[in-house]
Structure 1
Amino acid sequence: MVEQLEHNQSHRRSVLRALLWLTLLFGVIFATLNIYRGLYLLASLEIVYAVFALSLLPIIPKTHHLAAWTVAYLVPFFSIMVFALLLPNTSFTVFAWIQIIPIVSYLLLGQRGGFWMSLTFVTAAVVAFTVRYMTDEHAMNLLVVANLAFSSLAVLLFSHIYERSRTRNEARLIELAGTDSLTGIANRMRLAKEFPRLRSQAERSGMALSLVVLDLDMFKRVNDEYGHDIGDLALQHAAQLLSSRLRGSDLACRLGGEEFALLLLGAEHQQAAMLADQLRQQLVATPLHLDDAILTISFSGGVATLGEDGADLSGLLKVADKRMYAAKHGGRNRIVAAPDQPVQPAGNP
């Protein structure tokens, strides 16, 4: 999910930079016009804000506090809009700028931040417009105020619905991208994304983190003898058993082909080995029932633990994969936790 977060940040940086350039350009233009009209206070605010926008341009591309700078930019930006509505010599057409508040807020702050920013300033703008124009002499402006209020709230509502739908669809796409389409469990990409989070959690809490790489035994023979459709059923059967027997904090994923991986939070080296061996025995004891045959499936696996076997996912995969092949060469249907130390309880088939 880190990559997705970085993508969102990059998108928001681009939007904010574009808005800063527009602020700089239109700030100068409107300040010039307002000086000509005698609106010196508003013109001064626009010049100051244009300078502020210019100063932010080199900061936004590299800051680690994008959300804070965004709020620091938007609050005075929207406040100037509302303030302009209260000045006696400004045109009520200034309200047209209020319509962009929800759009800009949701683009830059997301669903929650965009909602509260939009609600605050759109409400303030409607109140400011009402205070200025709803006087005894302008009683007929009630319809104008109502139209502006409803149109502003409509833009806010549609922006909120769109952002909520976009967020949900994005989350769903991310979930699908990290899911193996055949077995329904996590894939290698999901493993790579989840590992840094689980490693940080393990390091903060002082827990162990172990990785098991396992490979179904004689799987080529299954495909050759029964066909690839049955081979797919065997993969689904194994994946279902692995995922159903793990805790919620663990992760089972398919690396590709007939190879799987288990990421076990809080499991020491030997605990991970014993858990993997229990899964091995359960899989053997739970054959796949076909129309005219019973297919017994087994796997060989290797175990690696964070720290003693590697400091990153690549290192752990390399060690666990090497031990998995040692289990294969040692006769299959077993777990190797360390060189020359297979875990193979009595009664192993």
Structure 2
Amino acid sequence: MTTPQHPDLGASFEQSRSGLRDTHRRSLMRTLFLVTGSALVAFGCLQILNGYLWLAAGEFVASVVLFLGVTRINRTPHLQAWIYSYLVTGFSFALLIMLVPDASVAAFVWVLMMPVLAYLLLGKKEGFLLSAPFMLAGCVTYYFHLEFVADARSMIDLLNMMLCAVLMLGFIHLYETRREEAEQRLFTLAQTDALTGLSNRASFQSTLARTIAESARSGTGFALVVMDIDHFKVVNDTMGHEAGDQVLRDISHRLTERLRTTDSVGRLGGEEFGLILRDVKPEDSFELMDELRQRIADNELKYGEALIRVTASFGIAHYPEDGTEAETLFRVADHCLYSGKRAGRNTVVKAGVAAIRSPRRTSKQHV
């Protein structure tokens, strides 16, 4: 069996704090640094003409920091800290501009940009926790900017600001919630075999790669098992594919109910399954798989008026004794599996041991 390189989709999904992966967030931050830095240079020059030298100086200093950040953002290991620094500083500066008389009568519009940037860069939870307080502070600041709301016109201005802020935050929060739900469904579909509900081949290989990395760090071992249903084609040919699907679902249930929560199981394709048994010795993995083999052989599956009985063969490879790479472990497990097939099926074979018949072995039974 060849084992092409698959990305660890689980890890990739967990590392995504928003709809953007880290590489995209870095690219966006770089663009924001460039745009914001350039805008601050222009605003600084205008503030000099406006008579606010101290404000212009602050904007020039901030622009220099942002331009330096452009050269560092792609390499920094502290991306989250950079994002928080940018957002908190930017939001605070927007509030400051609103408090400065005549600095900018339209500065309040930046309050409406707060949830957009926060949710995009931080995701739903952190985006809400950061943007909501700043938006509330922006509405309060705008209230003081109006000085008094005794007349209807001022009240309309204040209510427009508050209503827009609430709607903006609410709509973005709703959108982000729906986006996360959709991404989770797509992620589940990408990782799951539709028929059995087990991990699919790509997901199983990602789990295997992660298990190898964890075992290398901890110095522990594990067993990779490849299992194949014996003469499965007979079931499909004599009773139909629906019966074959029912057999696959039943086998999947047998596998998951017997394994530990730390173990992993997936459907590799067709009637072939893969299992990862963590922290298990070679002799223990053999006993566990032989017990599972016996449970499968003893099980009777009712399909209409017929009873279906099948058997399965298992090949076992151990990390690190039989290999330290996924491709090597799969090759060893496959070799053991087909050694058992040639020896008569309904067997469990581990690396370095010839195919043997278990004392509990039942005779082969087919449909």
Q: Same fold (TM over 0.5)?
A: yes
Shift of 1:123: 2.1
Please give the secondary structure, in 2, of the residue aligned with 1:267: coil
What's the offset of the Cα at 1:147? Answer: 2.5
Output the amino acid matched with 2:11. V
CA distance in 2, matches of 1:163, 1:147: 24
Name whichever of 171-180 and 270-279 sits farther off: 270-279
Q: Does 1:41 align with 2:50?
A: no
Structure 2 partner of 1:155: 168
Equivalent residues of 1:277, 1:343 under 8 A apart: no
Paired AA for residue 334 in structure 2: D
Whole-Å separation in 2 of the counterparts to 1:213 and 1:136: 75
Q: Which moves more between the two structures, 1-10 or 331-340?
A: 1-10
SS of structure 1 residue aligned to 2:123: helix
> Secondary structure of the residue that 2:106 maps to in structure 1?
helix
- Correspondence 1:1-349 to 2 at 5 A: 1-4=10-13, 5=15, 8-135=21-148, 141-202=154-215, 207-342=220-355, 344-349=357-362
Structure-2 separation of matches of 1:333 and 1:162:
53
How much has 1:194 moved relative to structure 2?
Answer: 2.3
Give the structure 1 partner of residue 3 of structure 2. Answer: none
Query: Structure 1 pair 344/45, CA: closer, same or farther in 2 (3 Å)?
Result: farther
Structure with bigger RCO (C-alpha 8 Å, 6+ apart): 2
Output the CA distance in 2 between the equivalents of 1:161 and 1:312.
44
Deviation (angstroms), 1:24: 2.2
State the secondary structure of the residue aligned to 2:71: coil
Number of residue pairs matched by the alignment: 349
Task: Give the superposition deviation at 1:109.
Answer: 0.9
* TM-score, scaled relative to structure 1: 0.92
The alignment yields a C-alpha RMSD, in angstroms, of: 2.3
**Any idea what SS the aligned residue of 2:124 has?**
helix
Distance 1:337 1:315 in 2: 14
Residue type of the partner of 1:49? A
| C-alpha separation in 2, matches of 1:138 and 1:308 | 83
The CA distance in 1 between the partners of 2:92 and 2:152, in whole Å, is 26
CA-CA distance at 1:218 after TM superposition: 1.1
> Which whole-Å CA distance do the structure 2 matches of 1:116 and 1:312 have between them?
43
For residue 265 of structure 1, report the CA deviation from its aligned partner.
2.0
Alpha-carbon distance, 1:295 to partner: 1.7
SS across alignment from 1:186:
coil
Question: Which runs of 5 or more structure 1 residues have no equivalent in the other structure?
Answer: none
Question: Structure 2-normalised TM-score?
Answer: 0.87
CA contact (8 A) 2:347 2:358 kept: no
Q: How far apart are the structure 2 equivalents of 1:139 and 1:31?
A: 35
Q: Distance in 2 between matches of 1:139 and 1:39?
A: 32
- Report if the CA contact (8 A) 2:263-2:277 is conserved: yes
Distance in 2 between residues matched to 1:47 and 1:138, nearest whole Å: 39
Could you tell me how far apart the structure 1 residues matched to 2:294 and 2:312 are? 9
Give, in whole Å, the separation in 2 of the partners of 1:264 and 1:75. Answer: 47
Inter-partner Cα distance in structure 1 for 2:74 and 2:203: 28
